[in-house]
A and B are shown apart, each in its own frame.
Chain A
Amino acid sequence: DIQMTQSPSSLSAFVGDRVTITCRASQAIRNALGWYQQKPGQVPKRLIYAASTLQPGVPSRFSGSGSGTEFTLTISSLQPEDFATYYCLQYSGFPFTFGPGTKVDIK
């Protein structure tokens, strides 16, 4: 099975900061990776699929990059509504696997 790791597990940042979250796969997954945002009590929301394609309606301050085993999610200027937990998901092969999550909170 493909294992996914994320770093950091949590971070504190100011509004306006640039934030980068990294996701690593235990084997190459091409670009079969999605990024999800989840706020407490809410359904996960996909931000990016195919590693770098922004889902319609998602603000352009979110971007994704990477291929193979290392991927990043970048928020160019953190907004108050971006404080949440972020997960990556690999869908290159079954079983699909989520990363353990990165919690972003207010500094």
Chain B
Amino acid sequence: EVQLVESGGGLVQPGGSLRLSCAASGAALSDLNIDWVRQAPGKGLEWVGRSGNKVNSYTIQYAASVKGTFTISRDDSKNLVFLQLNSLKTEDTAVYFCADLGAVPTDSWGRGNLVTVSS
């Protein structure tokens, strides 16, 4: 069973940067497609992007709302996927989840990591 754990969240000022990490265990990261999903306080779920696995040529995809400001990367040797958040705005305040949305029959989600953008 794949387990995912996020880290790196916290309080950051508008315009600042933060890097979130997603640690995977239970499977080789090279086999996993890892998605980032966020949820602003009291709001719905928003897909942020995906780090594709080796079979998918490690292709990275982004939502339009974060393209150009967020960057996804991975280090398979360390079983880590990263979400670099740059030029942060107050509206980026959210809980950020990493997840293996495409896995069947069972998917996996981390517990989420809160990012608060405030002065």
Contact = CB atoms under 8 A, between A and B. Distances in A.
Given A49-B104, A87-B44, A87-B45, A95 B97 contact: no
Contacts of B104: 49-50, 53
Interface string B97-112: 1000110111101111
Contacts, number: 56
A53 B110 CA distance: 23
Interface stretch (B8-16, B58-66, B73-81): B58-66
Interface residues of B, number: 23
A89 B101 contact: yes
Contact of A95 (B45, B61, B107, B112): B61
A55 interface: yes
Size band of the interface chain A makes with B: 20 to 34
Interface of A is mostly: loop
Given A1-B64, A43-B109, A55-B107, A91 B101 contact: yes
Nearest to A34: B101
Interface of B: 35, 37, 44-47, 49-50, 61-64, 97, 101-102, 104-107, 109-112
Interface of A: 1, 34, 36, 38, 43-44, 46, 49-50, 53, 55-57, 85, 87, 89, 91, 94-101
